[in-house]
Amino acid sequence: MTVHISTKPNRSHIVHGRTSLILPTLGRTGKDDKHPKGAQFLSVEDSMSVVHSTQGRLTPVSEHLLAEPVIVARMAEATFGQDHPVDWKGMADDYDVIRDHIARVLPGFEDFNARVRTRNGFVLPNPPCDTRSFATDIGRGRFTVSPLEYLTPPPGHLVLQTLRSHDQYNATFYGLDDRYRGISGGRRMILIHPEDLAESGFQDRELVNVVSTFQGVDRRADKFRLVAYPTAKGCAAAYFPEANGLVHKENVARVSNTPGFKAMFVRFELHKGGAAVAEVSASGEAAGELEPTPAG
């Protein structure tokens, strides 16, 4: 069984178990005001370790939508019963109850409800920064040295990494432009060094199918545009999530188990109609006049 709590349909809904449930939920922009104690708010932590409140102001698309805390609390109450020691209903009715629990068990969240209501929220503790203290056996930071390793792709292959465009936050992109690299109007492309492009036998802006190989197994992603770009020779780049399908599930880092998004061995095959006019252009240039330039 797979259970999704989702604000909108997405591709993960079609990769599921034999039994699958999709539970629609309020997005962060929707009002969450159907509670015995009135409107509720959530808290978020930003990239600077600052915790602050967030509260939707838009009318939800349906009166039946429930917030995530309510969904989880109701499932827990239905599973464990109303006599369970944890007051699940109390958490669903008043999110302050949840924050009080957090304040009692997580260091740095003391007096959570009062501090999160201040204008700028509060900063979580960072011992190395705050007090120059480290949770090691010697009370100081430890540095390690690892030998430099080079990826050696098979003949006729390049090392492919995935990256984000300017108009992108994590896996969500908001436009087809990438001002970091002077590219606009498209995302299904491979940035490739001009010398690698010439050696591959393809031309700038040709359409290709990309094939990644790992331990003798190939994976494919079709209809990508080759774009001559000053990457490191022997290396190429593509945007994610468009290129995610090229990553083999066994291709992971030895210790962290992180997928090999920066370490794929790829080759190219001409896509039918690959010599068509490009769908991308440099900022300020007409389509078909693409001349990407490095950021900065």
Extended strands (E) in the chain: 2-6, 20-24, 42-45, 50-54, 122-123, 158-163, 168-169, 172-173, 183-184, 189-192, 207-214, 217-228, 235-239, 264-270, 281-282
Of 1.10.3330.10, 2.40.40.20, 3.40.30.10, 3.30.360.10, the CATH number of 158-282 is: 2.40.40.20
The confidence score (pLDDT) of residue 289 equals: 37
What average pLDDT values come out for the chain (296 residues) when binned by 10 residues? 93 91 94 93 94 95 94 96 94 96 96 96 94 92 90 95 92 88 91 96 95 95 95 96 94 93 96 56 37 40
Neighbours of 46 (CB within 10 A): 10
Strand, coil or helix: what is 246?
helix
* CA–CA distance, 78 with 84 (Å, rounded to integer): 10
Comparing C-alpha atoms, which of 5, 4, 51, 60 is closest to residue 28? 60
Placement of tokens 């188990």 in the chain: 257
14 neighbors 55 (Cβ within 8 angstroms): no
pLDDT at 290: 44
For residues 211 and 218, the answer to whether their CB atoms sit within 8 Å is: yes
Among 296, 40, 285, CA closest to 184 = 285
Q: Tell me how far apart the alpha carbons of residues 295 and 179 are, in angstroms, rounded to a whole number.
A: 8
Cβ neighbours for 249, distance < 8 A, ≥ 6 positions apart: 259
Provide the β-strand partners of residue 218.
213
Q: What is d(CA 6, CA 251) in angstroms, rounded to the nearest whole number?
A: 29
Closest CA to 163 of 145, 147, 149, 181: 181
Residue 12: predicted pLDDT? 87
Count Cβ atoms within 10 A of the Cβ of residue 236 and give its class: 0-12 exposed, 13-18 middle, 19 or more buried: buried
Contact 206, 225 (CB under 8 A): yes
Residues 6+ apart with CB under 8 A from 256: none
Q: Where along the chain do its domains lie?
A: 2-126, 158-282
DSSP code string of 179-195: TTTTEES--SEEEE-HH
For residue 286, the model assigns a pLDDT of 31
Quick check: 56 and 39 in contact, CB under 8 A?
no
pLDDT score of 273: 66
